[in-house]
Homo-oligomer: A and B are copies of this chain.
């Protein structure tokens, strides 16, 4: 049995972490919840009772064995060292530690072996977009050697937290019933001002998810995360990756159109057969985020030859960005750490 802490317990992913711990009957001996000072003092349900949320910044983490963190990169940078210093292993959902060579970046089905050494006491959970693609890419890479990936994403608003969900919901409400204007003259409609996203998101797609990296590449941090994290998780340091990250008016479920180039020939039929046996993946004729949301697996389909890339393969996949993309994989990492998988 394990003493568990959850930092960012009142957030959207924190809520799901609590739910997934329960669903999967994680062997919790005792639990503590942490959040920002604003949420400290509120009560959250656990196992039929109530747990008072503690201030993450000032609390002692003494006695905890595993702490799941989902409080953002800044919080993780500030607190992870303190928490590991008090003896816990941190499973961090933020981007703070992912590219640290001393921090394993783990997708539970793909590279659990990376957990054999956790020198800093920190394990990183990949970005939600990267995460949902990895269970599909790993077995294809193992067979044929992935060399190139051209990706376009279709990212849900819940990837931007509760505020992202509200922004879409509010805009849908404001524009409800204005089908004629939306079809022929959307400039005539007043949208509430965009805050979480770079442009209105209802009835629109926004080709800028995350922030511009500011390094002269004109790429966003989201686009670079998919490249860098894929390289680290799959162990292909020179994987050539180009990505366009786009936010779409979907509540939950990140999707990717992937165009892949391999070292060796790999036909659609063999690829389908390989994917059908991969853990964490389900084949679907039309894989959509609506099919993936609320579930634990990446749905994948439209597997076909790609005519533009050498030994090319094209496919489409979708996964729940909150569950597998965040909360579920964090709990799965915890399961691996305590040896119950």
Which of A25-33, A52-60, A125-133, A201-209 is the contact stretch? A201-209
Q: Which of A158-191 contact B (CB under 8 A)?
A: 158, 165, 169, 172-173, 176-177, 179, 182-187
Q: Which residues of B contact A109 (CB under 8 A)?
A: none
**When chains A and B are docked, how far (Å) is the Cα of A302 from the Cα of B243?**
11
Nearest-CB residue, chain B, relative to A258: B244
CB-defined interface of A69-95 with B at 8 Å, one 1/0 digit per residue? 000000000000000000000000000
Whether a CB of chain B sits under 8 angstroms from the CB of A114 is no
CB-defined interface of A13-36 with B at 8 Å, one 1/0 digit per residue? 000100000000000000000000
Whether a CB of chain B sits under 8 angstroms from the CB of A301 is yes
Nearest-CB residue, chain B, relative to A316: B207
A200 near B150 with CB under 8 A, answer no
Q: Which residues of B contact A200 (CB under 8 A)?
A: 288, 290
Whether a CB of chain B sits under 8 angstroms from the CB of A251 is yes
Given that A242-B314, A252-B182 are contacting pairs, would A204 and B173 also be in contact in the complex, using a CB cutoff of 8 Å? no
Q: Which of A284-341 contact B (CB under 8 A)?
A: 286-291, 293-294, 301-309, 312, 314, 316, 318, 322
Given that A183-B252, A206-B286, A287-B207 are contacting pairs, would A242 and B199 also be in contact in the complex, using a CB cutoff of 8 Å? no
B287 near A259 with CB under 8 A, answer no
Whether a CB of chain B sits under 8 angstroms from the CB of A196 is no
Q: Which residues of B contact A287 (CB under 8 A)?
A: 207
Instruction: Offer 8 A-B interface pairs, CB within 8 angstroms, sorted by A.
Output: A152-B152, A186-B251, A186-B252, A187-B294, A205-B250, A219-B304, A242-B259, A246-B257
Apart from A150-B259, A203-B290: 12 A-B pairs, beta carbons within 8 A: A152-B152, A154-B246, A172-B176, A203-B250, A207-B257, A207-B301, A240-B307, A242-B309, A244-B257, A244-B302, A248-B248, A249-B250
